[in-house]
């Protein structure tokens, strides 16, 4: 199957990174390698890119897409949350720029065998890292009704989370739920007839929630954003693209915390917290896709880009 992903907010994120010739950059979410290629085109002969992804398919594909630049790229197959250890091993103390384009890539959604999509019959999987043990089948059949309801509510913001969790437990008692289409049917039956025509597919939010749970997408994200930003050189920039409000809130909060200077009680005569401003936020409001991009790529609809610069 062809590995095709259109990079979202491409110019906005690359321009926002203000890429310097000879700089060292990190792409924490390589995906289809579109952004990575853009970075490599701009860093020139002496630049370097650390390109990381959890998905081995993405890395194998990127070796082809980035064939002209392989001497400048170091591929890392890991969760980006472990990247600081890899940077230490590579003896990279400081970065000129960091890009994170969170979430799933189009090939992951479009390849039915990966089980991410509610609209394609497939085994329930949803693992970005296919070597990982926990998959969507494990979540749907192994979690208690309360646990399911909690993740549907928190990660999917689904108002019918309890009803859906109850229906899943009832159905799995008859027979284990092993396919995306059976799960989507169970969810659809919890919604009033006709809902779909007004609000889109009713399984959308639960599938998002299960995906977030399977891949631990929000766990440790705040700490990671905070800590990796501290690896930027003065003047170095970090750009983060998110696709749902939960991720965007975490990124926004981490950036705001990094920007704060002194968090002492205002009544104290001298600072005792030692907190210093680490970054300047360059996007008071997140950058969203232009009308043209939305016309060309439906997946850009919910994308939000936030950028900071190290001070
Ligand atoms: C939206 S795509 C990136 C697309 C890329 N910017 C491009 O231009 O083609 C997101 C990628 O991040 C990867 N990913 C998601 N969570 C990850 C994590 N925790 N650690 C490493 N990679 C992750 C996914 O496997 C996917 O390939």
9 Cα to the center of ligand 1, angstroms: 15
Residues whose CB falls within 8 Å of the CB of residue 129, separated by 6 or more in sequence, listed in order: 54, 55, 56, 79, 215
Choice from 5, 10, 25, 54 to test ligand 1 binding pocket (greatest atom count within 8 A of CB): 54
Query: Tell me, what's the pLDDT at 197?
Result: 65
Query: Which residue, judged by its Cα, is nearest atom 2 of ligand 1?
Result: 105
Query: Which residue, judged by its Cα, is nearest atom 13 of ligand 1?
Result: 29
Burial bucket for residue 276 (CB in 10 Å: 0-12, 13-18, 19+):
exposed
118-214 CATH:
1.10.150.170
Q: Which residues in the chain are classed under CATH 3.40.50.150?
A: 10-103+218-310
Q: Which residues in the chain are classed under CATH 1.10.150.170?
A: 118-214
Choice from 4, 14, 27, 31 to test ligand 1 binding pocket (greatest atom count within 8 A of CB): 31
Does the CB atom of residue 7 touch ligand 1 within 6 A? yes
Element (H, E) at 126: none
Query: Which residue, judged by its Cα, is nearest atom 1 of ligand 1?
Result: 105
Dihedral angle sign, alpha carbons of residues 116, 120, 124, 129 = negative
Domain 10-103+218-310, CATH class in plain words: alpha beta
Number of H helices, E strands in the chain: 14, 7
Query: Tell me, what's the pLDDT at 198?
Result: 72
Query: Tell me, what's the pLDDT at 108?
Result: 86
Query: Which residue, judged by its Cα, is nearest atom 20 of ligand 1?
Result: 79
Query: Tell me, what's the pLDDT at 199?
Result: 73
What is the distance between the alpha carbons of residues 224 and 84, in angstroms, rounded to a whole number?
9
Query: Tell me, what's the pLDDT at 103?
Result: 87
* pLDDT tens for each residue of the chain, 311 residues long: 667 889 999 999 999 999 999 999 999 999 999 999 999 999 999 999 999 999 999 999 999 999 999 999 999 999 999 999 999 999 999 999 999 999 888 888 888 889 998 988 999 999 998 899 999 999 999 999 999 999 999 999 889 999 999 999 999 999 999 999 999 999 999 998 877 767 778 999 999 999 999 999 999 999 999 999 999 999 999 999 999 999 999 999 999 999 999 889 989 988 898 899 999 999 999 999 999 999 999 889 999 999 999 99
Does the CB atom of residue 29 touch ligand 1 within 6 A? yes
């Amino acid at each position: 199957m062809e590995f095709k992903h259109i990079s979202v907010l491409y110019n906005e994120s690359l321009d926002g990174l203000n890429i310097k010739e000879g700089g060292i950059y990190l792409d924490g979410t390589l995906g289809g390698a579109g952004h990575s290629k853009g970075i490599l085109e701009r860093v020139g002969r002496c630049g370097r890119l650390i390109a990381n992804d959890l998905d081995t398919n993405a890395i194998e594909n990127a070796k082809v897409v980035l064939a002209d630049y392989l001497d400048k790229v170091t591929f890392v197959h890991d969760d980006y949350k472990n990247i600081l250890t890899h940077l230490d091993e590579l003896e990279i103390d400081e970065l000129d720029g960091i890009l994170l384009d969170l979430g799933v890539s189009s090939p992951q959604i479009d390849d039915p065998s990966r089980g991410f999509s509610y609209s394609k019959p497939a085994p329930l999987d949803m693992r970005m890292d296919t070597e990982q043990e926990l998959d969507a089948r494990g979540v749907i059949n192994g979690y208690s009704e309360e646990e399911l309801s909690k993740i549907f509510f928190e990660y999917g913001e689904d108002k019918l989370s309890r009803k859906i969790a109850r229906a899943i437990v009832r159905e799995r008692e008859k027979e284990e739920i092993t396919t995306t289409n059976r799960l989507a049917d169970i969810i659809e039956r919890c919604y009033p007839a006709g809902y779909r025509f007004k609000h889109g597919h009713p399984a959308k939010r639960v599938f998002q929630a299960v995906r977030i749970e399977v891949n631990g997408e929000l766990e440790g994200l705040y700490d990671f954003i905070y800590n990796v930003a501290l690896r930027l050189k003065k003047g170095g920039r970090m750009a983060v693209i998110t696709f749902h409000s939960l991720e965007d809130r975490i990124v926004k909060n981490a950036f705001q915390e990094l920007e704060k200077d002194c968090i002492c009680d205002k009544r104290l005569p001298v600072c005792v917290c030692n907190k210093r401003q680490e970054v300047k936020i360059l996007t008071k409001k997140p950058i969203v896709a232009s009308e043209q991009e939305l016309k060309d790529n439906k997946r850009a609809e919910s994308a939000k880009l936030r950028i900071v610069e190290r001070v």
